[in-house]
Chains A and B, each alone.
Chain A
């Protein structure tokens, strides 16, 4: 479940603004328990690119070589919106059972 959710966390991070790989990976890795290590995020980014959920653009940087920036595609945005709706229902259902012990 955790792995399935990470890709949507990536999409959420680039939903409003494009981010370059290093920044994106650091932000994901900073969330407790989400990824095992920073390096394991790159294969995921490759897959999201391959599936057309994100695309990338190279931009010059004044702090070093050009950076690859990730941004969400319309397809990625639809996938994220679909996930958010389902995630909220899922979260509420689990909260009701696990946290509240099934009490309304």
Chain B
């Protein structure tokens, strides 16, 4: 295998990476591909006598392009908490408060729920999908079933459907609150 063939192997590897990152904005994608290309180049320089087996081993250590892309997407999404300034317990308090307000804040003229939603979105403890879930299921929290009961007039739904809807309105926010409690990313041992 000639040096050109080895260049082709590297080129194909980088193309695979570029393809795996195609959903990423071009500047970020180009930067990561460039960094990996430099890593490959540096690794090749350090190989001394370059053989196909040594090059493949080098690429193997760097990893599958698809795995690198997966890590890149994960890092993009996953803004983990910094440990900085987080004494035990104090960091999680606003987050727990947010969950409480999302559930019961609706009873405080609706404003409490709104504050809970703001705290939820301001916190870095949850991913966007969890924040969406916490906001959409359901606005008003446990106060919503109350509004549902208070204003049923004019709704042409069978009684059993009303019971089902009521049950969903009661149970879903509780389940979401449990999910938010479990999924929040607190610092290390603080909450396990």
Is A59 among interface residues, defined by CB-CB distance under 8 A?
Answer: no
Whether A25 and B71, one on each chain, are in contact in the complex, defined by CB atoms closer than 8 angstroms, is no
Which residues does chain A contribute within 8 Å of B67, judged by CB atoms? 36-37, 39-40
Looking at chain B's contact residues, the main secondary structure is: helix
A residues in contact with B64, CB < 8 Å:
37
Which one, B2-10, B34-42, B101-109, B136-144, is touching chain A? B34-42
Q: Are A38 and B80 in contact (CB under 8 A)?
A: no
Q: Given A29, A42, A86, which contacts B189 in the complex, CB threshold below 8 Å?
A: A86
Contact B45 A37 (CB under 8 A): no
Question: How does the 8 Å CB contact mask read for B100-123 relative to A, with 1 for contact and 0 for none?
Answer: 000000000000000000000000
A78-B84, A79-B82, A82-B85 known; A39+B189 contact, CB < 8 A: no
Whole-angstrom CA separation of A46 from B34 in the bound complex: 12
A interface majority secondary structure:
helix
Given contacts A42-B68, A46-B28, 16 further A-B contacts (CB under 8 A): A25-B39, A29-B61, A37-B68, A39-B36, A39-B62, A39-B63, A39-B67, A43-B71, A43-B75, A46-B32, A46-B72, A53-B82, A64-B42, A82-B85, A86-B189, A90-B189
Q: A36-B63, A37-B64, A63-B45 are in contact. Are A22 and B39 (CB under 8 A)?
A: yes
- Interface residues contributed by chain B, number (CB under 8 Å): 35
Which parts of B171-192 form the interface with A (CB within 8 Å)?
187-190
User: Cβ of A47 and Cβ of B35 under 8 Å apart?
Assistant: no
B-contacting residues, A33-58, CB 8 Å: 36-40, 42-47, 51, 53
Beta-carbon contact of A38 and B61 below 8 Å: yes
Chain A's closest residue to B73 (CB) is A43
Known A-B contacts A43-B71, A78-B84; A38 and B63 likewise in contact (beta carbons under 8 Å): yes
With A40-B71, A51-B82 as contacts: A21 and B39 at CB distance below 8 Å: yes
Bound Cα distance from A46 to B32, whole angstroms: 8
Please give me the residue from chain A that is nearest to B185 by CB atom.
A4
Number of interface residues of A (CB under 8 A): 37
Residues of A within 8 A of B38 (CB): 21-22, 65, 68
Residue A82 contacts which of B61, B74, B76, B86 (CB distance < 8 angstroms)? B86
User: Is B155 part of the binding interface, using a Cβ–Cβ cutoff of 8 Å?
Assistant: no
Residues 17 to 48 of chain B near chain A (Cβ within 8 Å): 28, 31-32, 35-36, 38-39, 41-43, 45
Q: Kindly state whether residue A75 has any CB partner on chain B within 8 Å.
A: yes
* A90 CB contact (under 8 Å) in B41, B43, B79, B188: B188
